[in-house]
Amino acid sequence: MREVRVFDGDFPSYERILAGDPTAVFPNEIWLQQVQPGEFAVRYKDFKTGLARNPAGEHVKSSEICRIFSSLEEARADSREVVNDHWTVRCFIYDHTGAQAGPISNNKKVNRYAVVAYAGMLLWLGIFALVGMGLIWIVFKIALVVLGPFPSIHELLTSFGWVGWTAYAIAGLLLGILACYLRIQFIAKRRVDQLHGKLKSVITPEEKRRFEELNRLHGSKDPAERDRFVKLASEYQQKVREALKR
């Protein structure tokens, strides 16, 4: 077994990308070129996000490596050891043409995670449905007071059988999700407004005019201007952090 780098260089730094450096280039994948006929390469990904990991289970970027084995059996055996030690890693095996020979993962723990995740989703869907059904019931009670007596909601649903109750539950679920969405939107807008207010309190008009220069400096081909962009951006981010602490 041997380990080779997946890329032929490093990814551009965050600062270069932030500054819109036109000379910032991303590296090329070179791992497949190093796989000879009869050999098999293994790459390592996060089981949930698909982002690169290494055999030790660590998140990596341009330092991503793959292992190359002389046989498919060796590649599978080593991959099983990796996923047993780090269940969040999925191993993908490729031949020299780049065709997949099948993924290897810790199915026992991944399936357990999936069961817990889906159970949580079902629980939240049930909560949304109950909340929505409760809101519909409240609206119906208010309608009784305003419009006068008419058949109760229970009688109406019973007359339609399971179809009526199913429609009631679905309507409650949709209403519950809508209520949750509107609540999140309201909270997000309030926090954004609060942040804007805090930023105004920590950034003086003179600083604001200076930070507006970021729009002009972004993507400049002049290295000096890009350095100034990074410096100004760092100062602005510090101001944002100060505002968030208030």
The predicted pLDDT at position 209 comes to: 85
Q: Which residues contact 136 (CB under 8 A, 6 or more apart)?
A: 153, 168, 171, 172, 175
- The whole-angstrom separation of Cα 108 and Cα 144 is 54
Same domain for 20 and 94, yes or no, is yes
| Chain segment 18-69, per-residue pLDDT in tens | 788 888 888 999 999 999 999 999 999 999 999 999 999 999 988 899 999 9
Whether 85 and 117 share a structural domain: no
Full DSSP string of 108-167? HHHHHHHHHHHHHHHHHHHHHHHHHHHHHHHHHHHHHHHH-----HHHHHHHHTHHHHHH
Both tokens of 52, joined, read 């690169």
196: in domain: no
Average pLDDT score over the chain: 87
Q: Which of 105, 125, 153 is the last residue of a domain?
A: 105
Residues 144 and 94 in one domain: no
Number of domains within the chain = 3
Asked if residue 190 is part of any domain, the answer here is no
First CA to last CA across the chain, in angstroms?
A: 54
Question: Of 105, 136, 169, which residue is a domain's last?
Answer: 105
Percentage, residues of the chain above pLDDT 70: 93
pLDDT in tens, 75-96: 999 999 999 999 999 999 999 9
Q: Are residues 37 and 94 in the same domain?
A: yes
pLDDT at 183: 92
Considering the domain boundaries, does residue 199 fall inside one?
A: no
- Here the tokens at position 108 are 């026992």
Q: Each residue of 129-170: pLDDT tens digit?
A: 999 988 888 887 777 677 666 656 556 666 667 777 788 889
CB 132 within 8 A of CB 179: yes
Residues 96 and 123 occupy one common structural domain: no
Q: Is residue 156, in this structure, part of any structural domain at all?
A: yes
Range of 138's domain? 110-181
Q: What is the mean pLDDT of residues 196-220?
A: 84
CA distance 219 to 215: 9
What is the pTM (predicted TM-score) of this model?
Answer: 0.70
What tokens appear for 17 in the block? 């990308």
162-202 vs 223-245: helix crossing angle, rounded to 10 = 110
Boundary-marking domain end, from 72, 105, 138: 105
Kindly state whether residues 98 and 69 are assigned to the same domain. Answer: yes
